[in-house]
Chain A
Amino acid sequence: GQSLEQPSEVTAVEGAIVQINCTYQTSGFYGLSWYQQHDGGAPTFLSYNALDGLEETGRFSSFLSRSDSYGYLLLQELQMKDSASYFCAFTIIGAGNTPLVFGKGTRLSVIA
C-alpha cells in the first residue's frame, strides 16, 4: 500500500531549529514535497525533492533519502509565524490520477 508517516505534533522554541521527519511506503516513488498550512489558510508549497540530498530555500531545507524511504523538513531560526501544519506528500510514477498522496500533517507550535 501507500502511506506516509510523520509526527502529529512538534513544539519548538523561537529561534531554534526543528526537524520534521517523514517516512513513506509506496512503489514507483517519484518525489517528495512539503507544504505549509496555517490555520484558516490553504496549503502552500515549500519544497520538492526528486533526488537524494538536501534542498535549501532560505530558512527551510528539505532532505530526501530514497534508499531509506525517508525525508525531513528542517526549519531554522524559528519564528512565531512558522506555527502551522506541515504536510509531506509524495508523487508516484505512472499512477496517473494520484499526483500527490499526503501525510496526515505535523502541527508545529513555536513558543517564546
Chain B
Amino acid sequence: SAVISQKPSRDICQRGTSLTIQCQVDSQVTMMFWYRQQPGQSLTLIATANQGSEATYESGFVIDKFPISRPNLTFSTLTVSNMSPEDSSIYLCSVMLQTFSGNTIYFGEGSWLTVV
C-alpha cells in the first residue's frame, strides 16, 4: 500500500472563499484521483490527475470550480473554488497501485470541509 497524507484534515470555510487541499504520497505514482463524498452519500470521482498533463474531469465537475495541479509524481492539489454550502463534503485523494491481485486504489485520510 501507500501512505497518502492530506492537508487540511478538516476546515470550516466561509461561503465564497476557496480552499486548496494538498495530497502527498510516499511513493511515485502515475495515477492520482480526487473523489468527493457528500454527507451520507457514496464516493463520486471528480477528476483524474496524471503528472505532466491536464486533469481530466468527470461529468458534472469543471476545472473552474475544481482546479487541480499535479506538479510531480508524489503530489497533487485540489482547489474548491467559490465555495457554497453544497460543497460541504469529504474530499479524498487516492492513488492506483499495482498489487499482486491487480490494480488497487488506496485513499488518503480525507479532507472534511464544512462551508458556512
Residues of chain A having any CB pair with chain B under 8 Å:
31, 33, 35, 41-45, 48-50, 55, 87, 89, 91, 96-105
Contacts and interface: CB of A to CB of B under 8 A. Distances in A.
A40 to B, nearest CB: 8
Contacts of A31: 102-103
Interface in B25-69: 31, 33, 41-45, 47-48, 56-58
25 contacts: A31-B102, A31-B103, A33-B104, A41-B110, A42-B90, A42-B107, A42-B108, A45-B105, A48-B99, A48-B101, A50-B101, A50-B102, A89-B43, A97-B47, A97-B48, A98-B58, A99-B33, A99-B45, A99-B48, A100-B45, A100-B105, A102-B42, A102-B43, A103-B42, A104-B42
Nearest to A103: B42
A62 B45 CA distance: 24
B49 to A, nearest CB: 10
B97 to A, nearest CB: 10
Given A50-B102, A99-B45, 14 more contacts: A33-B105, A42-B109, A43-B43, A44-B107, A45-B104, A45-B106, A48-B104, A97-B45, A97-B47, A97-B57, A98-B58, A100-B33, A100-B43, A103-B42
Interface residues of B, number: 27
A97 to B, nearest CB: 5
Contacts of B101: 48-50, 55
A71 to B, nearest CB: 14
Given A55-B101, A105-B42, A42 B110 contact: yes
- Chain B interface SS verdict (over half): strand
Interface of B: 1, 31, 33, 41-45, 47-48, 56-58, 90, 92, 96, 99, 101-110
A98 B108 CA distance: 18
A53 to B, nearest CB: 12
B10 to A, nearest CB: 10
